[in-house]
A and B are shown apart, each in its own frame.
Chain A
């Protein structure tokens, strides 16, 4: 009887301890996660800055097919920090008198002129297929994004450099026209 009580107390303590340990572990882990996220964010931010400014530049170096709207709608599927960065770049800006709007890409592709899909954001192959039919300029930093015939503009990174690659066939098939100024500084794929 006494031993059963002892066992029960022990079990209770162990259970609590396990909870506490799990809680502590969670704390540490989450701390680590937070830290590593923060770290990754810090180191990649200059590259992300350049990508955001490229996205802004695309609006003036690429001609959208007719009929054109009275604004540019950016649809962005990216982590919060990247979304914020692009927002900061385009907020209040106009290209040829047309205001630039930005919203998260939440499955609704209607009205998007440029879709930026950040590497690592989940997407299914079905969703990829729908992107293809969106009539938007498709931009991503995912590996081989422009080699599968769907993507149009890719950010390629090596070491400390960002490079833009274009799939001209996909871009031209969708009716876009790229200015020579941009063509001169990018990698072109067919």
Chain B
């Protein structure tokens, strides 16, 4: 029998959180070790203690872990794509190089309420408030696990972890010796990845890894070109990156990790922006454009031309589709086909020591990114230092930490003739200081109480306190009930405090903008029916206060061509609630099923009279489910099927900008992977994505979120073959 030979593994409840905790494997029983998948066992590191408890079944929070095996078998080739597997996470591809990811509502391209960390380094862009996923497309085979905490993580992780934390952890170089090359060729994406790991001496190992990828254009949506211009799908991208990581065992329970890397790439984008008409002299305009400069919209408003005439004029004014100026008034709609260019580098060092019941860690990094697009060129240089200590006492487990972060950023106008978006000041340094303390105390044998408070001082928004109280009750060995009450906040981004628009609408910056606040209540239940079947259920009730909105002070007057005036408001309130369910079932030893369902409801409460949502409550899917099946057909052959259903999204109901604002239909996405191990050194897999859909739309960015009418694209069906060689 060559059929898969398995031993009984429990259905995946017993997974461990590495980031917060590293594994206190000392506390693991033989039974627990036995039930671990082999990739988890190989990643174990003894005695590294934690910010919060080690085992997921002992964590009073909604957590989910994607293992390297989950990622490999999903066929996904990037982190944002792999995050589709996480229950309760809203993932939508805006285009082939941009994603909108968040949990529990407020999904947007810059989902500013979610923190993303890569080996402890923040990928959160403080300028815009969010993550540029295209700049962080690391080699996915280097990832050991991705841990996702839904719900407030601010007490420990600091502000901006308001809605949750995504922790991406790469494999130790000690576990990745030797060479590995992978080549992917498909109709949409081509990728070459390389890794080589070796030993420098008895105590130090290293890993060099890198990847190059290029992704082709997808398909335009029916709304492309504001419906009257050429339909395009400007979303191709390419990038390359190189990383070096060393891990050293210093002795006496100490270890040192150093990670450095750089990347460079380009991402296409199409955008419409209202720019000031450069040619205000009607005679000159006639000469240059061959047309009469008319305030067309004004004429229409006054009833001097009909809607048909207005429409015809719009199309006539677009005879040259490559430049396309639509000068309705004092402002022209500019069709931008942009190639965003980015590059960056970082170096990070992390020292950890474990001795007896105590542990320490010191981490420091410097991170530089540069990104150039049509409107702006941005640079950001950050320095971050974190010190943490944990210990065990009769009063339970304690963790304390302090961190300092300084970000120097500059935003300068780029090619835009009249920069629509400027920041005042264009260059600024922000300093953030934070402290936290956390305690996990066993009240009784079955009841554990976790309390924590985080304090943060930001030079931008002052002091914030972020407390959390969490409890976990082990009702029975196979049943745990947990609950949490938290208060968390989000520091305003640079845009919210210093944006100056130069468009049909002007923006007056709000220097006194305060942080957004969230009070939340969470409840969770985990139950293991058998060793092979388990469920994880969580529910939440959120009260958002002081949410950022864009208030329309003066509307734009197309008749008189008077610019409108906007300002950032701080007083929108939204209530939301929902539930998330994850089920894991090892049907037979060679077949595993994982299913999830999440439900979300958001209600906008108090809002200013005339407002424009920065991020809309309508744009997160109300219902989502996924079904993943992993089948070992034989020992050398794997057949995996992933289904994802996302219900339709509403329009954000913008009062200012028209054109690209539209609902997105629900979709069912089917991915199938067939993997075959040719020899111990070679594997090949065929991956089909969106198999039963030639194209579908997943998400569009709100103009206000990205500073213009940015076009999304329809994601195409893709078939690819991936070859992995080990040497």
A interface residue numbers (CB < 8 A to B): 46-47, 49-50, 52-54, 56-57, 59-61, 63, 85, 88-89, 93, 95-96, 158-164, 168, 172, 177-188
Contact = CB atoms under 8 A, between A and B. Distances in A.
B178 interface: yes
B2 interface: yes
B39 interface: yes
A49 B33 contact: yes
B46 A47 contact: yes
A61 B38 contact: yes
21 contacts: A49-B30, A53-B33, A56-B7, A57-B38, A57-B41, A59-B5, A85-B30, A95-B7, A158-B203, A159-B249, A159-B251, A159-B255, A160-B45, A160-B255, A161-B46, A180-B677, A184-B68, A185-B38, A185-B42, A185-B43, A186-B42
B172 interface: yes
B581 to A, nearest CB: 28
B362 to A, nearest CB: 17
B635 A179 contact: yes
Given A158-B174, A185-B38, A188-B726, A46 B5 contact: no
Contacts of B39: 181, 184-185
B680 interface: yes
A165 to B, nearest CB: 8
Nearest to A180: B677
A61 B46 CA distance: 24
A65 to B, nearest CB: 12
A164 B44 CA distance: 12
Which of A63, A184, A188 is the most central at the interface, judged by chain B CB atoms within 10 Å of its CB? A184
Contacts of B575: none
Contacts of B203: 158-159
B47 interface: yes
A54 B33 CA distance: 9
Nearest to B44: A50
Given A158-B203, A181-B39, A56 B680 contact: no
B259 interface: no
Contact of A183 (B2, B33, B44, B726): B726
A98 B394 CA distance: 46
Which 10 A-B pairs give the minimum distances between C-beta atoms? A159-B249, A185-B42, A160-B46, A180-B677, A53-B33, A187-B177, A60-B7, A96-B5, A46-B26, A158-B249
Interface in B62-79: 68-69
B25 interface: yes
Given A85-B30, A158-B174, 20 more contacts: A46-B47, A49-B33, A50-B44, A53-B33, A56-B34, A57-B7, A60-B7, A88-B30, A93-B7, A96-B5, A160-B354, A161-B174, A163-B174, A181-B69, A184-B39, A185-B38, A185-B175, A187-B177, A187-B178, A188-B177
B interface residue count range (under 10 / 10 to 19 / 20 to 34 / 35 or more): 35 or more
A115 B423 CA distance: 69
Which of B69, B177, B253, B255 is the most central at the interface, judged by chain A CB atoms within 10 Å of its CB? B177
Contact of A163 (B34, B42, B202, B255): B42
Contacts of A95: 5, 7
B588 interface: no
B48 interface: yes
B640 to A, nearest CB: 14
B361 to A, nearest CB: 14
B21 to A, nearest CB: 14
Contacts of A52: 30
Contacts of A61: 5, 38
Contacts, number: 103
A47 B560 CA distance: 78
Interface in B4-28: 5-7, 25-26, 28
Interface in B146-193: 172, 174-175, 177-178
B683 interface: yes
B47 A160 contact: yes
Contacts of B41: 50, 53-54, 57, 185
A57 B5 CA distance: 10
A161 B7 CA distance: 24
B42 A183 contact: no
Interface in B175-222: 175, 177-178, 202-203
Contacts of B30: 49, 52-53, 85, 88-89
Contact of B38 (A88, A160, A168, A182): A182
B636 interface: yes
B1 interface: yes
Contacts of B6: 60, 96
Given A60-B7, A158-B249, A50 B25 contact: yes
A89 B35 CA distance: 11
A180 B34 CA distance: 19
B254 to A, nearest CB: 8
Given A53-B33, A184-B39, A185-B42, A160 B726 contact: no
B249 A188 contact: no
Contacts of B174: 158, 161, 163
B38 A49 contact: no
A53 B174 CA distance: 20
A13 B143 CA distance: 73
A172 B43 CA distance: 26
A172 B33 CA distance: 28
A63 B578 CA distance: 47
A56 B301 CA distance: 80
A57 B668 CA distance: 38
A49 B28 contact: yes
B46 A46 contact: yes
A172 B636 CA distance: 16
Contacts of A96: 1, 5-6
Contacts of A185: 38-39, 41-43, 175
B446 to A, nearest CB: 25
Contacts of A160: 45-48, 253, 255, 354
A184 to B, nearest CB: 7
Contacts of A50: 25, 33, 41, 44
A83 to B, nearest CB: 14
A59 B34 CA distance: 13
Contact of A161 (B45, B636, B726): B45
Given A50-B25, A89-B30, A63 B635 contact: yes
Which of B45, B48, B636, B680 is the most central at the interface, judged by chain A CB atoms within 10 Å of its CB? B680
A159 B253 contact: yes
A184 B175 CA distance: 9
A183 B28 contact: no
A188 B42 contact: no
Interface in B551-586: none
A158 B354 CA distance: 14
